[in-house]
Amino acid sequence: MKKLTKNFSISEFSCRCGCTMPSGVLLNIERLAVELQLLRTRCGASITINSAYRCKAHNKSVGGAKSSQHLLGKAADIVIKGFTPDEVVNIVYDMLDNPFLEGMYVGGVGRYNSFTHLDIRELREHSITLWDNRTSINK
């Protein structure tokens, strides 16, 4: 099992359908793992990766966007033990904005009811792409 960082291995980022990850995607996965390791260290808690790289067929089967960052190996849907998705988003914002914390690179952040989406897409006009897909009325 190939380790990418102290706490993450390549298998955690593989497509859930069991297909082979293209070699070009692996470079993005390695970059993504470094950013998630920074977040894990900051939180002091384990991160479960629900979904990272997805092949086109698997992405379609789960209703993923046609231009999903998951297709490129640049995205992960995560859960951090002991933290709500809102708390995770707040920690990420803090890490991005606070010069006293170890900085991280994130290009996209999505809020969902049971997980947080983070990706390392290119920044548009120097700002992060944000969205909120929570289904609760109390957003």
In this prediction, residue 138 has a pLDDT band, given cuts at 50, 70 and 90, of: low
Share of the chain above pLDDT 90, in %: 73
Helices (H), 13-84: 23-43, 56-61
Q: In this structure, what are the phi and psi dihedrals at residue 119, rounded to the nearest 5 degrees?
A: -145, 165
Q: Which domains does the chain have, with CATH numbers?
A: 10-132 (3.30.1380.10)
Is residue 139's pLDDT more than 50?
A: no
pLDDT for residue 123: 79
Neighbours of 35 (CB within 10 A): 21
Residue holding tokens 């479960």?
48
**CB-CB neighbours of 5 under 10 Å:** 15
Answer whether residue 4 shows pLDDT above 50: yes
| Backbone dihedral region for residue 44 (phi beyond 0: left; psi -120 to 50: alpha; all else: beta) | left
Judged against a pLDDT cut of 50, whether residue 116 lies above it is answered with yes
d(CA 72, CA 28): 7
The answer to whether the beta carbons of residues 78 and 40 sit under 8 Å apart is no
Distances (CA, A) of 84 to 29, 48, 72, 116, 137: 24, 13, 26, 9, 17
| pLDDT tens, position by position, 64-80 | 999 999 999 999 999 99
Q: In what order do the strands lie in the sheet with 116-119?
A: 47-51, 75-80, 116-119, 108-111, 129-132
- The 10s digit of each residue's pLDDT in 8-57 is 999 999 999 999 999 889 999 999 999 999 999 999 999 999 999 999 99
